[in-house]
Amino acid sequence: MKLNPFVKAGIGLTFALLWSCPTLAALTEDKNFGLEVKVTGQSEDDRDLGTASGGDVSGVGLDLRPWVYGESGAWSAYAMGQAVTSTDIIETDTLQQSDSDGTQTTDNGDRKTKKNYLAMREFWVGYSGLTPYPGEILKLGRQRLRNDDGQWRDTNIEALNWTFDTTLLRANAGVAERFSEYRTDLKELAPKDKDRLHVFGDVAGQWSPGNWVGIRGHHTHDDGKLDYPEPGVAGDSLDKKQNGDISWLGLTADSDAYNWRNTNTVNYWGSITGMSGDTDTVNPLNADGTRPTEAKRGEDLNGWATDIGLRLRLDPQWQVGAAYARASAEYEQTGLESNRSNYTGTRSRVHRFGEAFRGEMNNMQTATLFGSWMLNDEYDASLIYHKFWRVDGNKPVGSNGINAVENNTDDVTGAILSSTSLPLEDGNKDLGQEMDLVVTKYFKQGLLPASLSQSIDEPSALVRFRGGVFKPGDAYGKGVDSYMHRAFVDVVWRF
């Protein structure tokens, strides 16, 4: 299998860093290496809500992730590779970008997810000697960036990131930019990631035992070259159509609610975020195929979002809770989010806006009810109900796990001539509702270096079911199927 230059560079840099130092080489022989084996079965039906042929997934994937880690004084280094083979386009990775799931159509196939691929998930060098505190480290390289709610950052990306994590104060600051997917199948970046620089920082402190308040900020500077349409030349879905600058500033408060180990009777979380910026967007060709008068248009953006929740512990095993999130029509997320977190109070991270629907904070409000259960370190389960609405009934919502289409057919033969994304019906705000179930059986607790807590944050072995059933609302119209589902069974074993 031919590796693209970025993958070759990543592999070469990783092994050069890890084994050029004799001390690190010796440490890796002392069990600072391993292999994570993950088998994922996926069943998915009607992602397109029955509006097109296909839209189903059924298969099994094997995901092998070898990793190596070493320390020498204040220095550390880490690398994790990946080899995936599957019977269908299986999502073995919960961090997988929403547009890399095989539905992306391109003219050149440079961003087409394949059943088999090799990848470099992470490769970084760390230095923890800037302060005397044990929870401080500066990392350079491709690494896992994650915040507790997963709504700002939760991805693997090239970054320079400083983390300070102590009992009373937590802080992060860094810059990041995606240069490659480091995968043999995804040779090109998604258009939104091309030449997009992220600058971010956050700080939170305890104002009373177990109660945190914080502030966080994020700025994206996108000066990528725009691809303007040309008459008579077919466009490509990888053409970059928008750039600009966007800033986010948010306030947070919580009772350490995302820490599943806490034993509080009442847990809460809350955040409010403001967003502003400006974008330049390429204008399409005129209806007759000629160039538009203005090649691009500028737009000022202003939006806000909030997410609040309350969780009550009934006894050591059972918890119940409710949550509400709302984002204005112009609000959009940073592009680094996964929206996965431990908000139900278990060790298993769950998608905040549905395992099936996978909504984003853009022109959407969500009401959520949930119950969760944990038995020692052996089992946990979450049962969640979501209701989704549009905030503005005349504007679209952000990307999600639904890919419904509208077909243009031949009046005589009935053949499909073309398909476009299904527009939501004007005035109808009801997006739908969903039930999720996540159940996990853990076998044994893994003992890993503390510095790997971001990269490897699961126990050594588990079996997990993740599933959701979504019922579309009136906003999708009457020509769609009644239900769609997405379900996974993950088996993880770490050697």
Supply the pLDDT for residue 408. Answer: 65
Give 426's DSSP letter.
T
Distance from C-alpha of 380 to C-alpha of 438, rounded to nearest angstrom: 8
Supply the pLDDT for residue 456. Answer: 57
Cα angle value 351/353/355 (rounded, 5°): 50
Residue pair 331/391 in contact by the 8 Å Cβ criterion: no
In the numeric block, the tokens 């809460």 are attached to: 268
List beta partners, residue 433.
387, 471
Distance from C-alpha of 295 to C-alpha of 229, rounded to nearest angstrom: 9
In the numeric block, the tokens 């992602």 are attached to: 47
Tokens representing 167 are 């009992």
Tokens representing 370 are 């949930």
> In this structure, what are the phi and psi dihedrals at residue 276, rounded to the nearest 5 degrees?
-150, 155
**318-327 and 350-351 beta bridge pairing:** unpaired
Residue pair 76/126 in contact by the 8 Å Cβ criterion: yes
> In this structure, what are the phi and psi dihedrals at residue 450, rounded to the nearest 5 degrees?
-60, -30
Supply the pLDDT for residue 29. Answer: 42
Phi-psi region of 287 (alpha: psi -120 to 50; beta: other; left: phi over 0): alpha
Supply the pLDDT for residue 150. Answer: 95
Residue pair 332/366 in contact by the 8 Å Cβ criterion: no
Supply the pLDDT for residue 20. Answer: 41
Determine the 3-state secondary structure of 17 from DSSP.
helix
Neighbours of 315 (CB within 10 A): 7
> In this structure, what are the phi and psi dihedrals at residue 7, rounded to the nearest 5 degrees?
-65, -45
Sequential DSSP letters for 344-370: TSSSS-EETT-TTT---SSSEEEEEEE
Supply the pLDDT for residue 31. Answer: 58
Determine the 3-state secondary structure of 488 from DSSP.
strand
pTM: 0.88
Neighbours of 298 (CB within 10 A): 10
Number of C-alpha atoms within 13 angstroms, CB side, residue 24?
21
Contacts 24+ apart (CB under 8 A), 98-103: 98/358, 98/399, 98/400, 98/401, 99/190, 99/399, 100/181, 100/186, 100/190, 103/47, 103/403
> In this structure, what are the phi and psi dihedrals at residue 5, rounded to the nearest 5 degrees?
-60, -35
Cα angle value 428/420/426 (rounded, 5°): 15
What residues have CB less than 8 Å from 379, skipping those under 6 apart?
373, 439, 440, 441, 442
Q: Which tens digit of pLDDT belongs to each residue from 8-51?
A: 444 444 444 444 444 443 434 455 899 999 999 999 988 888 87
Residue pair 246/332 in contact by the 8 Å Cβ criterion: yes
Supply the pLDDT for residue 413. Answer: 59
Q: Which tens digit of pLDDT belongs to each residue from 79-127?
A: 999 999 999 999 999 887 654 443 444 555 788 889 999 999 999 999 9
Number of C-alpha atoms within 13 angstroms, CB side, residue 297?
7
Number of C-alpha atoms within 13 angstroms, CB side, residue 355?
27
Q: In angstroms, what is the C-alpha Rg of the chain? A: 23
Q: Which residues of the chain have pLDDT under 50?
A: 1-29, 99-105
